[in-house]
């Protein structure tokens, strides 16, 4: 079995240590530092190429560190290189940086080291990171659009209430006319948003609500209830569930194909998931799989996964091609996410016009209703 971590780098150790000393002014805690996914993608992709080229792993890490712009990440690579030269395995070295290298990454590397296919595993890790980053980017893009609409609608409303409506308020007072209910409501709302109380208490209320939400979400029951509610939101809930399923199947396929046992693979999928309802379903599935049940029957809890997922996994178990089936499921749901994001974006475009036009139209009608009434009386 190849021992990638124990090969001599062929470089001057003093040179490596001196470079480490030069970077010692960069202070950080190994347990707290994080690295952008883009940097990790480049790191694993280049490391796989270096190993395939026959360059010793420790030396390869030093070469990568020299070309890494992120100074903290470069220092981490040098430290890992030194540990490799001291005889540690790569997986053991990576465990020193839990916020940088996810448990699934370390598990795959352990499997690669055991099977002597570290280069292939590193390339597969890079592909997995790339696919998951793409899904997250698509989800963020889909969720950003309604947020922009909301901010735009609120901005337009506040602009009219603060700068336009007060002018009509003064005019209506001078006229002494009886105002319609909609107009009276709009003037009252304008007086409120232009008052000192609004500017003082609104930020305080938002801070309190944010604190209560965050405190509740940090509890296990609170996170479960909120994450369950998120999956039930029309349009967006379905999109988020598809992205979860795509990411889960992609991860599970990678782990199974790398030779990791099913129970351990599911356990690492739990760590990779961001939804508490999905995590609980998988936790129950682990217990049932340990008891001898099939995975397809074990993931029925909480009605999280679509029937298609359970059916395809069942076929994979019966044919002995679970990795192949989960890979196909991942590809299918990735396409589903892309199509859903595209459809949602197209549907939101006319909605922007309707929302803004509705707000502006309501305010304009409320301001001009008294004038129409006066004109009718004079006529």
pLDDT digits (tens, 9 = 90+) for 78-95: 999 999 999 999 999 999
pLDDT above 50: residue 317: yes
Percent above pLDDT 90 for the chain = 44
pLDDT above 90: residue 33: no
Distance CA 334, CA 319 (A): 24
- Which of 160, 182, 126 lies closest to 366 in space, CA to CA? 182
Domain 124-379 listed as CATH 1.20.81.30:
yes
Can you state the percent helix, strand and coil of the chain, rounding each to 5? 80, 0, 20
pLDDT above 70: residue 227: yes
Whether the Cβ atoms of residue 257 and residue 323 lie closer than 8 Å to each other: yes
pLDDT band at 6 (very low <50, low <70, confident <90, very high): very low
Distance CA 351, CA 216 (A): 33
What are the residue ranges spanned by the domains of the chain?
4-101, 124-379
Whether the Cβ atoms of residue 298 and residue 273 lie closer than 8 Å to each other: no
Give whole-number Cα distances, 284 to 218, 261, 270, 274, 333, in Å: 21, 17, 11, 17, 23
> pLDDT: is 374 or 163 the higher one?
163
pLDDT band at 327 (very low <50, low <70, confident <90, very high): very high
Equal CATH topology for 4-101 and 124-379: yes
Percent above pLDDT 70 for the chain = 89
pLDDT above 80: residue 45: yes
pTM reported for the whole predicted model: 0.78
Q: What is the pLDDT of residue 10?
A: 43
User: Helices 57-66 & 37-52, crossing angle to 10 degrees?
Assistant: 140
Q: What is the pLDDT of residue 223?
A: 95
What class does CATH assign to 4-101? mainly alpha
pLDDT digits (tens, 9 = 90+) for 349-364: 787 778 888 888 888 8
pLDDT digits (tens, 9 = 90+) for 154-198: 888 889 889 988 888 888 887 776 788 888 999 999 999 999 999
């Amino acid at each position: 079995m190849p021992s990638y971590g124990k090969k001599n780098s062929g470089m001057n150790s003093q040179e490596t240590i001196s470079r480490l000393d030069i970077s010692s002014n960069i202070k950080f805690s190994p347990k707290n530092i994080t690295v952008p996914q883009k940097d990790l993608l480049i790191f694993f992709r280049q490391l796989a190429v270096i190993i395939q080229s026959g360059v010793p792993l420790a030396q390869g890490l030093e070469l990568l560190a020299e070309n890494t712009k992120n100074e903290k990440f470069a220092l981490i690579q040098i430290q890992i290189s030194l540990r490799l030269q001291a005889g540690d395995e790569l997986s053991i070295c990576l465990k020193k940086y839990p916020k940088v290298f996810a448990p699934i990454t370390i598990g795959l590397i352990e499997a690669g080291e055991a099977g002597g296919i570290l280069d292939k595993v590193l390339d597969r890790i890079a592909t997995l990171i790339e696919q998951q980053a793409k899904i997250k980017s698509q989800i963020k893009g889909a969720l950003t659009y309604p947020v922009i609409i909301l901010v735009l609608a609120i901005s337009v409303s506040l602009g009219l209430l603060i700068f336009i409506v007060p002018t009509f308020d003064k005019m209506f007072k001078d006229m002494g006319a009886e105002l319609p209910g909609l107009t009276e409501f709009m003037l009252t709302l304008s007086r409120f948003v232009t008052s000192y109380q609004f500017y003082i208490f609104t930020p305080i209320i938002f801070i309190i609500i944010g604190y209560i939400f965050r405190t509740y979400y940090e509890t296990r029951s609170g996170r479960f209830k909120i994450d369950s509610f998120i999956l039930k939101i029309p349009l967006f809930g379905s999109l988020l569930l598809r992205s979860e399923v795509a990411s889960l199947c992609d991860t599970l396929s990678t782990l199974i194909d790398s030779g990791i046992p099913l129970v351990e693979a599911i356990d690492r999928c739990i760590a990779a998931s961001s939804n508490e309802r999905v995590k609980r379903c998988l936790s129950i599935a682990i217990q049932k799989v340990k008891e001898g049940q099939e995975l397809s029957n074990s993931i029925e809890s909480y009605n999280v996964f679509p029937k298609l997922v359970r059916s395809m996994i069942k076929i994979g178990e019966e044919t002995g091609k679970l990795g192949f089936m989960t890979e196909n499921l991942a590809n299918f749901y990735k396409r589903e996410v892309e199509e859903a994001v595209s459809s949602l974006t197209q549907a939101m475009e006319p909605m922007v016009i309707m929302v803004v036009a509705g707000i502006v139209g309501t305010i304009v009608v409320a301001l001009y209703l008294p004038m129409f009434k006066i004109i009718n009386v004079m006529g």
